[in-house]
Amino acid sequence: MLTKPRIISLLLVTTVAPMFVAGNPGWLLVLVVLVGGYLMAGGANAVNMYMDRDIDQRMSRTKLRPIPSGRMGAEAVLAFGVALATAATFILARFTNVLTAALALAGFYFYVFVYTRWLKRTTPQNIVIGGAAGAFPPLVGWAAMTGAIDLTSVYLFLIVFYWTPPHFWALALLKQVDYGKAGIPMAPLVWGERETMRQMLWYNIILIALTLLPVAFGAFGLIYLAAALVLGLILLGGVVRVVRAAEWTAPAWWVYKFSLLYLALLFLAMVIDRKVLG
């Protein structure tokens, strides 16, 4: 429960898929990256629970977590999270390369200190800027395979970065009462529901354009182009339904759930495109 396996599973897809886009990794390397990536993300989630223990007890969706429910002490959770991150850093540095370990650790620190400790409690832009933490996995996978960062990997980072606001704001719309109880300035509480929906729409439009740009400089071909366009338009249609609906609960849930599938399928399309079209 501390590591949040379901959330990490999508992060691992966006970590491993770029490895196959960049080349043909051996399964041992893939396994190392999977283990290291899980430990780093799991450590970040555990430390997040330690830092958010004061607000978790106020929110219905988080009050059953190990610390507010009284099943674990705060210090034990912190030690567990730090231990996982330390182990992940060693594994990635020892069995891949230092750049991979550094990028994974940068994602850990960004999530723990920039997002959790600072942005989350101070600004409705928290999930926009903080979304960079969840965009590090593609860089980690690319670096593990190539030992470097290039333009394609930067685009993968930006795709996840611009995907995050419409994805998470759909959930924020649904859970805004909880966030209000905890005093977290999420977008619907500060900007209002309709402005948040409009922002989701604009970010989705930017996301579609951004997913198509790698085709322009030859990073991907027609298979990826078709998948990116179809998936992007389906997601856009969902966001439009949220904006237009008088009762938007069901459409917002659909957007939140489909956005998870969207990102997984988009990265899968990248792999298929590279392997089929060479």
- Residue after which a domain boundary falls, among 92, 123, 149: 149
Query: Are residues 136 and 156 part of one domain?
Result: no
- Residue after which a domain boundary falls, among 121, 149, 177: 149
Query: Are residues 186 and 271 part of one domain?
Result: yes
The share of the chain scoring above pLDDT 90, in percent, equals: 90
* Averaged pLDDT for residues 128-136: 90
Query: Are residues 136 and 5 part of one domain?
Result: yes
Query: Are residues 164 and 129 part of one domain?
Result: no
Range of the domain at 264: 150-278
Neighbours of 241 (CB within 10 A): 15
* Averaged pLDDT for residues 137-141: 98
Q: Does residue 236 carry a pLDDT above 90?
A: yes
Let me know if 225 is exposed, middle or buried by CB neighbors in 10 A (0-12, 13-18, 19+). Answer: middle
Query: Are residues 259 and 142 part of one domain?
Result: no
Q: What is the band of 131 on the pLDDT scale with cuts at 50, 70, 90?
A: confident
CATH number reported for the structural domain that contains residue 124 in this entry: 1.10.357.140
Query: Are residues 154 and 137 part of one domain?
Result: no
- Residue after which a domain boundary falls, among 149, 175, 190: 149
For the stretch 143-191, pLDDT in tens is: 999 999 999 999 999 999 999 999 999 999 999 998 998 899 999 999 9
Query: Are residues 159 and 129 part of one domain?
Result: no
- Residue 159 CA to residue 152 CA, distance in Å, equals 11
Q: Does residue 278 carry a pLDDT above 90?
A: no
- Residue 193: its pLDDT value, please? 95
Query: What average pLDDT does the structure give for the chain?
Result: 95
Total domain count, the chain: 2
Of 239, 234, 230, nearest to 167 by C-alpha is 239
Cα Dmax for the chain = 54
Q: Does residue 80 carry a pLDDT above 90?
A: yes
Residue 192: HSE in the Cβ half-sphere, 13 Å Cα cutoff? 4
- Residue 209 CA to residue 198 CA, distance in Å, equals 17
